[in-house]
Amino acid sequence: MPASMSAAPMRCRTPLPSLGLGTWKAPPGQVGAAVRVALQKGYKLIDCAEAYDNQDEVGLALEQAFQDGVAAREDVTIVSKVFNHNHGSRAEASLRKTCEDLRVGVDLWLMHWPIRFENEQIPSPARGPTGWPNPSIEASFEYNETWKEMERLYNEGKCGGIGVCNFTVPQLKDLLANCTVRPLVNQVEAHPFFVDAELHAFCASEGIQIMAYSPLGSADSYSGKLVGAILLQDDEVNAVAKEAGISAAQALLCWGMRDGACVLAKSVREDRIEENLRSQDIKLDASLLARLTKLDRGYRFGLGWMKGHFWDDEAWSAGEKNAP
């Protein structure tokens, strides 16, 4: 039976587990099995989003796993996100639909982007061949109004905690100046090619835990394809991994966890799901971590949704020429 919004989400507390299963780009027909395997192996956090278009399959896997005793519901943190087209007054219906799809309460509910789409239906395709958004999308920076709605739903017990994704330092400062409930986390892209030390330091100073997505890079992302940047194949990453006697993926995940972040690793392969989990028990020497940090290029794999957020005007304008 699908869960209603009052189906008792767990009250979320930080720090979150150091590793979670990501479900972004997890293929239909495979993501449910991956969730079950992850729970069997001992994962304690599953990261979802309405924009991933797979929450129903994830929810069925969660429901069956909890019913079968594969994992205890109280031991697993369920994370989801409200997407740009459901900002403001649309947020409550979005949360309700997410809970119905996932068949459980949402323990940690995040604002996916500090950006609002006026479009109630997202144009298709949402992105062009090189990743820049469809020009028919009407977007604007907006987050305080939506955060107030998230605060209300949190205070009514309809989710266990609230946080944000993809917020910059200025946006976090503005949100903190206007909120009554502080965000528990900021989920952002983080890996040795994109260290973003200023953001991480600010979040640490404000007690906001980092959740790191794309910790292994994202070679199939739009910008990754454009420049051919494949983090897992980087010579220094592999040299560090060889010296430590671990895989390149484990080296990158250990780096991501170094300062208390919750790192999200996506895979639908059982061997990689298990390999990633073992990274929690590996402690890389400080000198090896420092070598990975030195790979910083300020390079994002993600493009974002608006000019002036992640990319400067010149780069954004060039990319828009390839939009649908």
Would the pTM count as exceeding 0.85?
A: yes
Known binding residues for substrate: 112
Reply yes or no on whether the pLDDT at 14 is more than 50: yes
262-265 and 209-213 beta bridge pairing: parallel
pLDDT in tens, 251-270: 999 999 999 999 999 999 99
Find the mean pLDDT for residues 129-144: 90
Find the mean pLDDT for residues 196-216: 98
Which residues are CB-contacts of 85 (< 8 A; sequence separation ≥ 6)?
117, 119, 120, 121, 122
Which positions are annotated as active-site residues?
52
CATH tag for 19-320 (out of 1.10.3720.10, 3.50.50.60, 3.20.20.100, 3.40.190.10): 3.20.20.100
Residue 93's pLDDT band (cuts 50, 70, 90): very high
Indicate the burial class of 308 (C-beta count within 10 angstroms; 0-12, 13-18, 19 or more).
exposed
Question: Per-domain residue ranges for the chain?
Answer: 19-320
Q: Please give the C-alpha separations between residue 304 and each of 124, 133, 165, 318, in angstroms, as whole numbers.
A: 17, 9, 11, 15
What pairs with residue 21 in β-bridges?
A: 46, 265
Reply yes or no on whether the pLDDT at 118 is more than 90: yes
Find the mean pLDDT for residues 281-298: 97
Question: How much of the chain, in percent, has pLDDT values that exceed 90?
Answer: 79
pLDDT in tens, 23-52: 998 999 999 999 999 999 999 999 999 999
Terminal Cα-to-Cα distance of the chain (whole angstroms): 40
Reply yes or no on whether the pLDDT at 94 is more than 60: yes
Known binding residues: 112
Contact 164, 144 (CB under 8 A): no
